[in-house]
Amino acid sequence: MVSNDTLRALVDAVTADVPRLSRQLIESIGACVQQTRHVLLRDAWARRRKRFQLEFETSLQPRLAQARRGIDPFRPKEVALHQLSLVDEHQALMDVGVNHAAKHCQEPFSNELYQLNTFFSALAGVQHGREPNWLRPTLFAQAMAEALAGNDLSAEQHYAFMQLASPALAEALAPLYQSLMAVLQEHKVAQLLTTAPTPRAPNTSLADLQERAEFTRQRDAVTTVLPGQRDRGLLSQIYQRLLTDPTLSAPVKGSLSRFQVALERLSLVDEKLLQDQQHPAWRLINAVAAYGSTFTNPGDHRLADFLAFLEEQTSALLNAPALSSQHFEGLRRLIDAFIARQVRASTVQPSAAELTKLARRKQRASWTSLVRDQLKAQLAGIAVSRSLRRFLTDTWVDAIVHSMVEHGEDSELAQSQIHLVDELIDSLMPLPDQAARDELRGRLPSLIRRLEIGLQSIQLAPEQSRDFFTELMALHGRVLSGKGLGVPTQSPVDAPESRYARDSRLDPESSLQSVLAERHSEFGSVWATADVDRTLLPTQPQALQAGESLRPDQAWIASLHIGHWLHLMAHGQWRTAQLGWISEDGEFYLFVGQDEAERQSITRGALRQLYRSGLAINLEQEGAVERAIHALMQDLP
């Protein structure tokens, strides 16, 4: 947690300006809507206009209150280990809309945002990092997205609304960011900050460095130097720079330092080592550095276990009588396998129940069809009312399948609910004598209670549940009075829709599961236009192999493996997370953050769409060696 007077002054300035900001947004969005030909958006804005200011400000207030207390409002929400939140294609498209609006504001306020980024980085005591600014445009874009949301708009229509409103947000934020710069000046902070971003340095290859080093040596040479000595000297300089990389923690540097002797031995027999940074040895160094840098806490037990494993493997490497690139390639594979085991142990085991349930949700549609057909066959030729037949083959099917998804196909609860159908039908059949009717009267409370539990699990509307039990009570009254059911068999095909048939207004979880069961993305045209500025992230998209026949998103999905680190957008927040689990059918993925409690499940379709929009990007795996080469290049005259 960080806090100081300047931070509080910045947040207070934003809080004071929120009413003006919301009013200007209403006017600007209204003007944009009037110019559009999209009738649905005009109608949607007419319904939202009066409540927009309240919802926009209500969304911002808790986030600003967090920031004033020194808490990052973009911090991912933690969930219990037995819970999972899911990102599907609809949520992914909402995230793209927020990112589109925020990106629209990047260029007009680049200098202001850079100064704020520098201030927040310094406030947190870290180097200038990826989006450290708590008051960046994304904060306001999220509030605008929530104020524009509603059940009357699909995810694609909401995205169109966000596109339409993005220029209005940029226009409204201009006075706000000017006032924030005034606050920095008033607190004598602005003069300490750079007024413009530092241009990115061009990429430097190992071949470029070697050429520059050779030119410098020949220019300044006094004595003859043997080629092998030159190579070892250059290798030593690269390694020296590598071990001073400020992004690496001391424990990681200690492990990397042990590889230097092995690299020097390899350089004597493998000239490619100092010609190409894609050499297996350098890729191993980058992999160790990248994985080690993902842990912000040097005392993290996962990092300690990884470094202990690395110590053992490094010792074996140093004791090898002769080294080759295959040794380093083999060690890289061992490291990948260790990371995969480590992630499974820390992620999958605590979440096993939820992960299993997540995979079962994929079978909801097939199970629903199977159970419905089974019950229809079971009821064939049995004299029950049309409404009861509709209830059993529709609403009660939902209850059974819900139990199958939550507890398993062969769970005791699911099987009990399937057998309950026979018990219910049996309770409505004519009885021969008073003793049989008394026995039924004793069984009915338990039967009714089990029905109530099943209907509560799918959150059937109270009025529908009441209608069903009212009719059921009347039917049981006939049986207990000795009259029997006396209702001829009706064809379920011709039966009218019951008052307590399946309710279309299900709870959000049931609706989400229905989307998962029958998921057919239709957002291709949207993703193609959802451009995201990748230069704002210290990441790089994964290159495809030569001759790759798959589409880029398909090839990228296929390349993911357990232990893979990504920067991804989920629920409007950027997070760095590691892939910990893939379902057997490849439809669900589970990611875990640096904190093991930060877990996020994502559907395959959503992950693919996030990748297309630049919102799911590989953590930079090729970095430490390149940074060392570039730093050394800058030192050479």
Q: What is the mean pLDDT of each run of 10 residues along the chain (637 residues)?
A: 77 94 93 87 90 93 90 70 62 84 86 86 59 88 91 85 92 93 82 51 63 60 44 78 86 90 89 85 87 79 89 90 90 86 65 66 82 87 82 91 86 89 88 88 91 91 88 88 55 40 43 43 38 41 48 84 81 77 78 71 84 79 76 72
Dihedral of the CA atoms 409, 413, 419, 425 (nearest 10)?
A: -130
pLDDT of residue 121: 80
pLDDT of residue 55: 93
Structure tokens at 376: 């229809």
Q: Where are the domains of the chain?
A: 5-79+92-192, 206-349+625-635, 358-505, 524-620
3-state DSSP helix/strand/coil % of the chain, to nearest 5? 65, 5, 30
Q: Domain 524-620's class?
A: mainly beta
The CA distance from 39 to 20, in Å, is: 28
The CA distance from 285 to 541, in Å, is: 20
478 closest CA partner among 367, 388, 392, 592? 388
Tell me how far the alpha carbon of residue 621 is from its chain's centroid: 20
The CA distance from 364 to 355, in Å, is: 15
240: which residues sit within 8 A by CB, 6+ positions away?
A: none
Structure tokens at 580: 């910990």
Beta-sheet pairing, 573-582 with 588-592:
antiparallel
Structure tokens at 154: 């699909």
Per the CB < 8 A criterion, the answer to whether 98 and 180 are in contact is no
The CA distance from 618 to 499, in Å, is: 51
Per the CB < 8 A criterion, the answer to whether 306 and 288 are in contact is no
Structure tokens at 360: 């079962």
pLDDT of residue 568: 82
Per the CB < 8 A criterion, the answer to whether 431 and 482 are in contact is yes
The CA distance from 73 to 130, in Å, is: 15
> What does residue 307 show for φ and ψ, rounded to 5 degrees?
-70, -35
Residue whose structure tokens are 């009861």? 388
Per the CB < 8 A criterion, the answer to whether 405 and 361 are in contact is yes
**Cα→Cα distances 37→32, 33, 144, 467, Å:** 10, 8, 21, 45
| SS3 state of residue 40 | helix
